[in-house]
Amino acid sequence: MSLPELHRYVPDLLADNYAAIDADLPQLLEVLFARSASEDWHKAGTFKHHLLGVYRALCLWEQPREVRMLGLFHSVYGNEYVNLTLFNREKERATLRDLIGEEAESWVSLFCAISRTRFVQAVLDGQGTGPEGLDLEDDKGEITHLTPRQVAAFIVMTVADVGEQWHSWQDEIFSGYPYQQKRELAPHWVASMWPGPLKPPANILHMLSRLVNILQAMPTDTGIPVPPAFRQGQGVLERKDEAAAAALYWQVITRMHPLTESVTARLMLESVIDHNPYVGEPRLLLAQLALTGGDFETAETQALAGLQALQSWGLAWDKRIAWEAWIAWARILLQHARNREWPKSLGALNGLGLVE
């Protein structure tokens, strides 16, 4: 099904046709995979999946090539969070520079070298939005200067990086980020059990919404577009609303709340959206309920809104299912809403899947 509502990159991203977006990307992926990116563990999958997910989001956010390359190689020199050194910073910077370009490689090197925790703290504290850029101090008291273009690029990169990987397990082990405190593992062994229940995060979108909102105050000549998430930075999700939305959604999707009639689920999902209108998955549940009840108009409205939200993020909020699968499900719901049809039996649901 070809939809005018689909972002121009979505078909190629779904088909892994990366060369249609960046002609040299197949070669770059070969380099990453040859250095074990497809074997390394990373939060909600492998490092390969994480890098491709970040790249996908940056594409859908219409970021320039330098930012997309930063996303694809953002941890390859290692950083304060992860031990994923795929390139030797001392010996191989020229190799990476030849692959992705001088500006992109310099950003990768800088992004890996700085304290990203301190960077996020500084930005949230209102620093770095002016034409003078940001002077970032490390733990040793040394200063690194970031230009406004670098600050904007690193904010966008941070939102994509954190948003792609974060689920309830990181809510627990990185509680309070970016002001997390060190906690001993043994007393908190339950929180450490990976992957945990894979609930949607309840404590991170508030921070990400603030970061996107701050981009609106940046100088207009950075060349870094504001991502479309959070209504292109115009909305800030409050902590209490994020927590309430995640809890209500989990009650419905796992059937933890007694669902004796569909109206209960519908009202709870509508409350989820009232609290957090920026994610797509709750809208898709509402669309399915509407289809089951024969309310095709509501189903179309919610399915389209869910599809648009998934594309504005390029990332899944409910990470039990991959973003690509949520997109496919949204398109199935939208197709059937527009055709004014939906299966009448449970078994018939199993036959869904063809997008004409």
Give the model's pLDDT for residue 67.
Answer: 98
Give the model's pLDDT for residue 80.
Answer: 78
Question: pTM, whole model, 2 decimals?
Answer: 0.95
State pLDDT tens for residues 211-221. 999 999 999 99
State pLDDT tens for residues 223-265. 999 999 999 999 999 999 999 999 999 999 999 888 788 999 9
Mean pLDDT along residues 203-211: 97
Residue type, 78: G
Give the model's pLDDT for residue 139.
Answer: 81
Q: Report in angstroms the alpha-carbon separations of 47 from 109, 164, 198, 269.
A: 18, 11, 18, 33
Query: How far is the C-alpha of 94 from the C-alpha of 170, rounded, in Å?
Result: 35
Query: Are residues 249 and 272 in contact, defined by beta-carbon separation less than 8 angstroms?
Result: yes
Beta strands in the chain (DSSP E): 41-42, 45-46, 134-137, 143-146
Structure tokens at 76: 């390859």
Mean pLDDT along residues 73-100: 87
Give the model's pLDDT for residue 3.
Answer: 64
Q: Is the pLDDT of residue 4 over 70?
A: no
Q: Is the pLDDT of residue 354 over 80?
A: no
Give the model's pLDDT for residue 41.
Answer: 83
DSSP string, 251-287: HHHTT-S--SSHHHHHHHHHHHHHH-TT-SHHHHHHH
Helices (H) and strands (E) in the chain, counts: 18, 4
State pLDDT tens for residues 145-155. 999 999 999 99
Q: Is the pLDDT of residue 1 over 60?
A: no
Mean pLDDT (the chain, rounded):
94
State pLDDT tens for residues 288-310. 999 999 999 999 999 999 999 99
Give the model's pLDDT for residue 138.
Answer: 83
Residues forming a β-bridge with 134: 146
Mean pLDDT along residues 204-210: 98
Phi, psi of 137 (to 5 degrees): -95, 135
Q: Report in angstroms the alpha-carbon separations of 100 from 106, 160, 234, 281.
A: 10, 19, 33, 35
Give the model's pLDDT for residue 2.
Answer: 52
Mean pLDDT along residues 270-284: 98
Contacts of 167 (CB under 8 A, 6+ apart): 43, 44, 195, 196, 198, 199, 200, 201, 319
Which single residue is written with the structure tokens 């380099």? 31
State pLDDT tens for residues 307-341. 999 999 999 999 999 999 999 999 999 999 999 99
Structure tokens at 210: 């603030």
Q: What percent of the chain has pLDDT over 70?
A: 98
Q: Report in angstroms the alpha-carbon separations of 286 from 109, 245, 320, 324, 347.
A: 44, 14, 18, 19, 20
Query: Are residues 47 and 79 in contact, defined by beta-carbon separation less than 8 angstroms?
Result: no
Give the model's pLDDT for residue 343.
Answer: 96
Query: How far is the C-alpha of 311 from the C-alpha of 314, rounded, in Å?
Result: 5
DSSP 184: -
Query: Are residues 305 and 284 in contact, defined by beta-carbon separation less than 8 angstroms?
Result: no
Instruction: Return the percent helix, strand and coil in the chain, to nearest 5.
Output: 55, 5, 40
Residues forming a β-bridge with 145: 135
DSSP 180: -
State pLDDT tens for residues 171-199. 999 999 999 988 999 999 999 999 999 99
Residues forming a β-bridge with 41: 46
Query: Are residues 193 and 155 in contact, defined by beta-carbon separation less than 8 angstroms?
Result: no
Burial of 185 (0-12, 13-18, 19+ CB in 10 A): exposed
Query: Are residues 244 and 262 in contact, defined by beta-carbon separation less than 8 angstroms?
Result: no
Radius of gyration of the chain from Cα atoms?
21
Phi, psi of 143 (to 5 degrees): -105, 135
Mean pLDDT along residues 102-123: 95
